[in-house]
Copies of this chain bind each other. A is one copy, B any other.
Amino acid sequence: MLEKQIQIYKETRKKIIAYQYYDWVVGWDQETEAPKGAQNYRLQQIEVMANETYKVSSDEQYMNAIEYLHENLNDLSDEDFKTEVKKVYKDLRFIKKIPKEEYIDYQVLIASGPQIWAEAKQKNDFSIFEPTLEKIVQYNRKIVKYLETDDLKGYDVLLDLYEEGMTVKKYDHFFELIKTELVPFVMTVTKNNKEKFNRKLTKGIYPKLEQEKFSKYLLEVFNFDLDHGVLKESEHPFTSNVSNQDVRITTRYHEDILISSIFSTIHELGHALYEMQTDSKYNDTFLRGGSSLGIHESQSRLYENMIGRSFIFWEQHYKQLVNLFPKQLKGISVTEFYKFVNQAKRSLIRIEADELTYPLHVLVRYEIEKSLINGKLKVKDLPRKWRLLMSKYVGKRPITDKEGVLQDIHWSFGSIGYFPTYALGSAYAAQLYHFMNEEINVEQAIENNNISLINDWLKEHIHKHAQSKTPQELMLIATKEPFNPKYYMDYLKKKFGTPNA
């Protein structure tokens, strides 16, 4: 009986993974390649396939097999398989508790969301996006009702979807620290902040072709395996994959902002290296891929900020940049460049925010999502609330919605509860970086252009485990301590508190 159930489970899993692969390619194509006019036709096909995929994933035999295996967990000998069964059993909630029609309707809704959001953003008109966002919020509130348990209530349910184990209570504690320690710290730092960098850096034009060359150079520096990876361009940089065999990243090139593509590329490289270094044994299972969004973001932030924005990194690689942009960077020293890429400044746009002010942008979103889900905030009042909280926490008030509530794509594809993981990720990264330094000489590795030493440490302590460990377990494995936001506060205060080299 057990063998039979395992077989049923594995056969269906194989199918689901194939559907996911196809779905992934279509999604990648949509974001990076498909012509605009094909949108409606594609949505039609996506609707049909969402139905087909649902059918396979909700096959009764398959669901029964999962329940049987979960009831007989102790008879399973393989630890990974046990973990997987627990995971898929938990995921069964979606099918068992959410009516199918609602599920399909929602898939269609969020497939069209990003295009509607993009139009609203482009036209700087929240009212274009409002009805869609209203539906998305209402659906998420319904989800919450369907999925609530004794332990998880309200917004907790969504937070747990994106970062297992995190709750309003835990995030409140984390963001309270940001509110009480970081908000005043940032106000002080940015108040006294004189511009320390060479103004010439904001004035040059940096042709895309050369920026592309530098992105490719970075792929080499970080050991990105092009035999299993792709670098492409898209409006919003992202990393995308469904196994460790084919990991794709995008970046964007602004000819008037050199560092935009550089740090986008390194950021996505962090995500990509994580995925590439997961153990191949998980590829055909539901334990493949990164453990959580927070852990994922910890990797991208660690590579982007702790390595990519370090002085020692630019001591090695600045000359390469100067080779590509000899005129534009003439007379600018590596120290000036370093200061430029580490300036702390209150600003309106999250994805352009620096390392120090970044978590304040997340704080704004966290409070908004919390009150959207508990019903205290209405979608129509969002733009006003956004301006209010930006003033309060970031100390900067947007005039337009384009640079305010419409700046981020996430809600348009249904993700509520996702944003907090961005700040959490930076905090994880600080803790990881601290402990990694106790075991290997990170600075020397960067100095010797030997990033693989860092890659290897992260592979061993984080990456290879894929989803076989929870975020909490990974932090324990890698740092021998539970998550502790104090490392993050210490790190930021040290980096931005005293004048840098």
Contacts and interface: CB of A to CB of B under 8 A. Distances in A.
A230 B22 contact: no
B209 A38 contact: no
Contact of A229 (B22, B35, B56): B35
A45 B28 contact: no
A283 B245 contact: no
A31 to B, nearest CB: 12
B41 A243 contact: yes
A227 interface: yes
Chain A interface category by residue count: 35 or more
A35 to B, nearest CB: 5
Interface string A208-227: 01000000000000000111
A246 to B, nearest CB: 4
Given A26-B25, A49-B18, A35 B209 contact: no
A349 B289 CA distance: 45
Nearest to A56: B52
A435 interface: no
Contacts of A40: 245
A28 to B, nearest CB: 7
Given A41-B246, A52-B18, A25 B29 contact: yes
A37 interface: yes
A25 B26 CA distance: 6
B37 A228 contact: yes
A33 interface: yes
A22 B15 contact: no
A169 interface: no
A394 to B, nearest CB: 38
Interface in A227-246: 227-230, 232, 243, 245-246
A19 to B, nearest CB: 8
Nearest to A48: B18
A94 interface: no
A226 B37 CA distance: 8
Given A25-B25, A25-B29, A227 B48 contact: no
B246 A48 contact: no
Contact of A42 (B41, B49, B225, B246): B246
Contact of A29 (B19, B29, B42): B29
A289 to B, nearest CB: 14
Contact of A226 (B14, B35, B229, B284): B35
Given A22-B26, A45-B21, A37 B243 contact: no
A377 interface: no
A209 B207 CA distance: 13
Nearest to A21: B45
Given A15-B48, A52-B15, A209-B209, A228 B22 contact: no
Given A15-B52, A48-B15, A21 B42 contact: yes
Given A35-B226, A37-B245, A246-B35, A17 B45 contact: yes
Contacts of A26: 21-22, 25
A191 interface: no
A139 B350 CA distance: 58
A223 to B, nearest CB: 14
Given A18-B48, A38-B228, A41-B243, 20 more contacts: A14-B48, A17-B48, A18-B44, A18-B45, A19-B52, A21-B26, A22-B26, A22-B45, A28-B29, A33-B232, A35-B229, A35-B230, A35-B246, A36-B227, A37-B246, A38-B246, A41-B246, A41-B283, A42-B245, A52-B52
Rank and list the top 7 A-B pairs by shortest CB-CB distance, nearest first: A38-B246, A18-B48, A37-B227, A41-B245, A21-B45, A37-B228, A18-B45
Interface of A: 14-15, 17-19, 21-23, 25-26, 28-29, 33-38, 40-42, 44-46, 48-49, 52, 56, 209, 225-230, 232, 243, 245-246, 283-284
